[in-house]
Amino acid sequence: MTNSINNQMDLNILKSCESELKSGTKEDPATNVFISNEDGEKRWEEFKVRVVEHNMRIMAKYYTRVRTQKIAELLDLTKEEAEHFLSNLVSNKIINAKIDRLQDIVTFQEKKSPQEILNEWSTNLDSLMTIINKICHLINKEETVHAVQT
């Protein structure tokens, strides 16, 4: 799958399209959004950030576990930049993920609705109560057996 992703997409797409987006072409004239001044540069940097965030959201949909180094490679970032973007998205609750720094693995999880969380909690509680009930029954059975023997 990784090979098909690498073959289908150019990881340096922003770098290759930067001049076209900033200055335009004959067919598509410049929009002056990314002009060479302070505001244009600020917009360009913000655009790059938004592209990376979008790509991370897409990764969260298609991957469940992936190495941080692989994220950095796919997004053409350093490992530290990838962790920074990822932690910002997680802290802003845009994506749901856990980063295991010791194993260098990111685990993406689907967001659960409050209803799903309550249903899961209720099911777990029900199973716990069933186990406790069974244990109590076995304890009573043992007490009865020991009472009969004495």
How many helices and strands, by DSSP H and E, does the chain display?
Answer: 6, 3
Q: Tell me the mean pLDDT in the region 89-114.
A: 88
Closest CA to 10 of 78, 67, 60, 75: 75
pTM of this prediction? 0.61
CA within 13 Å, CB half, 144: 6
- Per the structure, the complete domain to which residue 142 belongs is given by 112-150
Shared domain check, 134 and 100:
no
pLDDT in tens, 116-132: 989 999 999 999 999 99
Whichever domain contains 53, its CATH number is 1.10.10.10
Residue bearing the bigger pLDDT, 1 or 15? 15
Give one word for 104, left, alpha or beta, with left for phi > 0 and alpha for psi -120 to 50: left
pLDDT in tens, 73-91: 988 889 898 899 999 999 9
Determine the pLDDT at residue 67.
Answer: 93
Shared domain check, 98 and 24:
yes
Shared domain check, 123 and 103:
no
Residue bearing the bigger pLDDT, 15 or 130? 130
Determine the pLDDT at residue 15.
Answer: 66
